[in-house]
Chain A
Amino acid sequence: MNDKNNPLLSVRNLTIHYITDDGLVKAVNDISFDLEKGKTLGLVGETGAGKTTAAFGIMNLVPDPPGKIISGEILINGKDILKLKKNESKKYRGKVASMILQDPMTALNPIITVGEQIAEVCRLHDKLSKADAYIKAAQMLELVGIPSDRIDEYPHQFSGGMKQRVVIAIALACNPQLLIADEPTTALDVTIQAQVLSLIGDLIKKYETSMILITHDLGVVTEICDKVAIMYAGQIVETGDLEAVYEHTKHPYTKGLFGSLPSLSAKAHRLNPIYGSMPDPTNLPNGCAFHPRCPNKMPACENRAPTNTELESGHFVRCLLYE
């Protein structure tokens, strides 16, 4: 409980909506979590659960319009980054918090050499001279396992896995305290995935960086995360330490997620999916957002939204079953 009092990142009641012509998209609804220094949080959820929007919120990069942060606080070292002025938040991005985007194929500018792109961060934040930044870029390349003599090459001369390494080098070049990795491995094939993940894992351990790993791969989470947060329809339905969530799964949705994974030991002819599909975020159901698909549905679920309930220390569940 000690480090709980002083987390690096503390998100409080964050709500982000997109105001579009087709209606109000409630992308992120009232999420709260803490992340301590050097720890890794896995943010898991289906497509459209609001994971990426939450990440953009933490970077203070929600596209406005149509996005709007309705309420909430994002405290980093006790400072609310949503209240930063424009040029302050420029200094914050890349220096304090950094982001790895989903698709390395398009995250690099095709007409600038990779070296220059890494050097750009260093020049923006650490005010290095051009020559120093170039040296730093070469070091970063070596660090992510790319020979530094490829520094003058263009992104199209690299393979997907290599590009993602470059993106990681850019993200880590200024030694950020918080790294947000938005599905860093979805665009890569499986062997490269494992390499990239272990690279990220090693680097954040080395620099004691905190990380939020966005993924929908529950297996990946067990490999590098300390904590897990399961998102559904813009809410965190269950969060806690890796063990608590994996071993003492409480929320019906989380149970459904684990249940839908094929197992090596048990023979099964068919996978066990969670029936139904994600609700339309412009038109969330009343009460608990999960009730139309929930196997443990009670009559009250249709009317009353569950609140965050702490079952044991640090293990929160948002379900009426446990209230």
Chain B
Amino acid sequence: MAKKKGQVRQIWRRLKKNRLSMFGLITLIIIVLAAIFADFIAPYPYDLQNYSVAKQFPSLEHPFGTDNYGRDIFSRVIYGTRVSLQIGFISLTAGALIGTIFGTVSGYFGGRTDTVIMRFTDILMSIPKVVLAIAIASTLGPGLVNAMIAVAISSIPNFARVARASTLTVRDQEYIEAARAIGAGNFRIIFRHILPNILAPIIVQATLGVGISIILAASLSFLGLGVEPPTPEWGAMLSAARTFIRDEWYMVLFPGLAIMLTVLALNLLGDGLRDALDPKLKT
């Protein structure tokens, strides 16, 4: 067991060397903390309307200004973190799980199973992600859970592809044959011998995918198909503020910045992880 920790430590050491991904990691930690402690950080409740201070320029009292209902944008951005991260992580985890299982099964068994699953993911992939998500979300109707389902489904094909490709390289390794020769069944081979071996590319795909999912969720909300008001969601905030962009630009700026910063942090971390997990760069 001590050795296992050693491996993690080695990856950590390599990740630490990469300044940009450390920046991403720290930013991400701050964002996650902000989401957890939103109740303590945010100076106002996210749905407190106060028309006497509507559309105020950022000041000490309202660091990001206020929107057209007089709600504090800073508080809304902080609370919005919760929603965005929730959608991003939950929908991506679901999509990754389903996609990985499909991909692994498809790659491992090959033949007809492979054809059926892969043609199905091809169909999903041939539709642009956003369009697919819009189609699903508009069928299911707006709402947090439905947005998650839509984002999850549209992230399945990517994971299926990555998992299948990695499975194909691992499947013909001699140790899989050896596992079969000692009497291990298909289920055991897939979950014990193949999955752990293909985990690295999937982790990378997942880290990069969270960012995409967050953007996708924000796009859905922007179009009115995601989270319903008054729940603060960055995409929805952008959508509501876009009519005021000429005079009250700060109303669009801060939620937009929040999306950008989160996705950037995730992508930087993902890039770093890819390098750290790549055994070919091991030194």
Contacts and interface: CB of A to CB of B under 8 A. Distances in A.
A319 interface: no
A90 B185 contact: yes
Interface in A273-287: none
Interface residues of B, number: 21
A113 interface: yes
B183 A61 contact: no
B3 A113 contact: yes
Interface string B154-185: 00000000000000000001110111111111
B196 A94 contact: no
Interface string A148-164: 00001110000000000
B166 to A, nearest CB: 13
A109 B193 contact: yes
Contacts of B184: 90, 94, 120, 124
B182 A93 contact: yes
Contacts of A152: 1-3
Interface residues of A, number: 33
A86 to B, nearest CB: 9
B197 interface: yes
Contact of B178 (A91, A110, A111, A167): A167
Interface string A51-95: 000000001010001000000000000000000000100111111
Given A152-B3, A154-B3, A109 B175 contact: yes
B197 A93 contact: no
Top-8 shortest CB links A-B: A94-B182, A94-B183, A93-B183, A106-B174, A99-B181, A109-B175, A107-B178, A107-B174
Nearest to B279: A110
A98 interface: yes
Query: Chain B interface secondary structure, helix, strand, loop or mixed?
Result: helix
11 contacts: A94-B183, A103-B174, A107-B174, A108-B175, A108-B178, A109-B193, A112-B193, A120-B182, A124-B188, A152-B2, A167-B178
A97 to B, nearest CB: 9
A112 B180 CA distance: 16
A95 to B, nearest CB: 6
Chief secondary structure at chain A's binding surface: loop
A177 to B, nearest CB: 14
A101 B174 contact: yes
Nearest to B200: A111
Contacts, number: 71
Interface of B: 1-3, 111, 173-175, 177-185, 188, 192-193, 196-197
A101 B181 contact: yes
Nearest to A105: B174
B175 A153 contact: no
A25 B140 CA distance: 55
A133 interface: no
B28 to A, nearest CB: 26
A28 interface: no
A102 B181 CA distance: 13
Max chain B C-beta neighbours (<10 A), residue from A90, A102, A125, A170: A90
A59 B184 CA distance: 13
Contacts of B1: 152
Contacts of B174: 101-103, 106-107
A167 B181 CA distance: 12
A106 B173 contact: yes
A91 B185 CA distance: 10
Nearest to B179: A109
Contact of B175 (A106, A124, A125): A106
Contacts of B182: 93-94, 98, 120-121, 124, 170-171
